[in-house]
Copies of this chain bind each other. A is one copy, B any other.
């Protein structure tokens, strides 16, 4: 009897959880990946793509493309840093609004997950996330 694939378990769980967050955030027109990215940008005011990639643990090119979507939707502004190679990103007023509108919806999801998993599994999730 083969053991269950831990990776597949994670992937499936993540898809389902992300779908729940996406559905909750839909009224604001953003998904959970975008919400997380907007939050990172807000926390840093102004940040380069490479720095965002480092913080988000994502490939720089992925960040660049995701930021492009946010920019198209008017949620962030981009420009050049002092270092002319850097593309710096910051929230637009609409981005600030969207983030403010999304946060209570996100909070509700957080509470829902906490209720669903219970404190022990929430702690385990944190531990797993730090371990990998």
Using a CB–CB distance below 8 Å, which chain A residues touch chain B?
3-18, 20-21, 32-33, 35-36, 39, 56-58, 106, 109-110, 113-114, 116-117, 120-122, 124-129, 131-132
A8, A127, A131 interface centre (most CB from chain B within 10 Å): A8
Determine how many copies of this chain the complex contains: 2
Contact, CB under 8 Å: A109 / B7 = yes
Contacts of A33 in B (CB 8 A): 11
A110 to chain B, nearest CB (A): 6
Give CA–CA (A32, B4) in the complex, Å.
13
Contact, CB under 8 Å: B14 / A14 = yes
Point out the residue from B7, B17, B109, B131 that lies within 8 Å of A10, measured CB to CB. B17
A5, A6, A114, A117 interface centre (most CB from chain B within 10 Å): A6
Smallest CB gap from A111: residue in B: B3
Contact, CB under 8 Å: B131 / A128 = no
Point out the residue from B6, B8, B32, B120 that lies within 8 Å of A8, measured CB to CB. B32
Contact, CB under 8 Å: A9 / B129 = yes
Contacts of A12 in B (CB 8 A): 56-57, 129
